[in-house]
Structure 1
């Protein structure tokens, strides 16, 4: 994995990921996730749906600079595949933060072109442009899709960090499988990209957004 991908996957990268739980906070509030045993299927489900969707768009974004207008198309198609306004807002917030940091760390014509086409890009598209390699970009986004909720579980439930990291480690083959499948679509037209759905996560995101407006929550999403 190249250095850019490693830094983007690092929780210390100032991309704003620490503020988002990927639906985990609402799942904990509803007692859908209570321990390592219930965290594991939650993470796997998120990886195979929201994670797979983001990975596909990250892979496609690595090739977008070659086609005029492709960035705007990708952005619009990812919007269309994300029915939850709260999830769209979370993706754009993280994308904006990642792009802000990247303009200092890795300025490039591709990044500048993306931000001209869509000043508030979705996070997977930013990752794809920055990483450049379809598999590694998809792998970074797939990994990010589960590490955010996993970190949230430690903070919200007081779970043993060693145990939570063991849960993550057991997802390694699944993460790579999602990334390989996504990389196969690097050259696919945006309109034809897959759209794995996650209605449960959409509902959790909308519920969390309503509750976040009414009371203090640890995470934005």
Structure 2
């Protein structure tokens, strides 16, 4: 395993398409739920402990070798919003394309053949981490960080928020991110014996509802 591979996979400049998505932040800004750094921190904390936890567990399970098809179905079941399911698959398709170019592997090729329109992003994160020689902890951290890093970056553009303030939010959330990743890995390790139903299914109804409103808007800065 090489930690450098983790830095590459988690780097915001990795061409995985995340820059085009706000993780629900654009709709939250429009609705007045994010107006400053304090609001951003509350938004990211809520996202981390719900969709971030789910994504981290799916990624860790994929890195451990669980059936990608079963994990993808589990991701679908945990994503009620059609708009969010579509966004997750678009992000997964772009991430898979980048990962196959960076860390060629039979597992990634098989995933691309099985899901030509894209698998859910966390599942791809897990297989990409595995192809890069990383473990489930790394995959979980990548997925969890993605859940808050995307909204923080997007809010800088949406509100002209000071990037130092946005980065400080992520730094303050770091201990909780570690906790979420640890919890996700513990659940993922049970999948081999108990099946995918053991994975977390935390929900964030406002994100789901907001995603549907956002998808219907004719003018928007971010895809989701």
Q: TM-score range by the shorter chain?
A: over 0.9
- The match for 1:198 is 204
How many residue pairs are counted as aligned between the two chains?
A: 214
Q: Deviations over 1:121-145 (max 9, x none)?
A: 1111111011121111000000010
CA root-mean-square deviation: 1.2
Counterpart CA distance in 1 for 2:220 and 2:36 is: 20
Shift of 1:2: 2.4
- The match for 1:111 is 108
Structure 2 SS opposite 1:14: coil
- The match for 2:181 is 179
Counterpart CA distance in 2 for 1:72 and 1:140 is: 21
- The match for 2:33 is 32
Shift of 1:63: 2.0
Q: Does 1:208 align with 2:218?
A: no
Counterpart CA distance in 1 for 2:200 and 2:153 is: 28
Counterpart CA distance in 2 for 1:9 and 1:203 is: 28
- The match for 1:125 is 123
User: Which runs of structure 2 are paired with 1:74-113 in the superposition (5 Å)?
Assistant: 74-113=71-110
Q: Does 1:162 align with 2:164?
A: yes
Q: Does 1:46 align with 2:47?
A: yes
> Unaligned regions of 5+ residues in structure 1, if any?
none
Shift of 1:206: 0.8
Structure 2 SS opposite 1:195: coil
Shift of 1:186: 2.5
Shift of 1:118: 2.5
Counterpart CA distance in 1 for 2:143 and 2:68 is: 17
- The match for 1:134 is 136
> Unaligned regions of 5+ residues in structure 2, if any?
none
Contact 1:128–1:134 at 8 Å: present in 2 too? Answer: yes
Runs of 4+ that moved beyond 4 A: none
Counterpart CA distance in 2 for 1:4 and 1:91 is: 23
Give the TM-score, by structure 1 length. 0.93
Give the TM-score, by structure 2 length. 0.92
Q: Deviations over 1:88-146 (max 9, x none)?
A: 11111111001111111111122122223323111111110111211110000000100
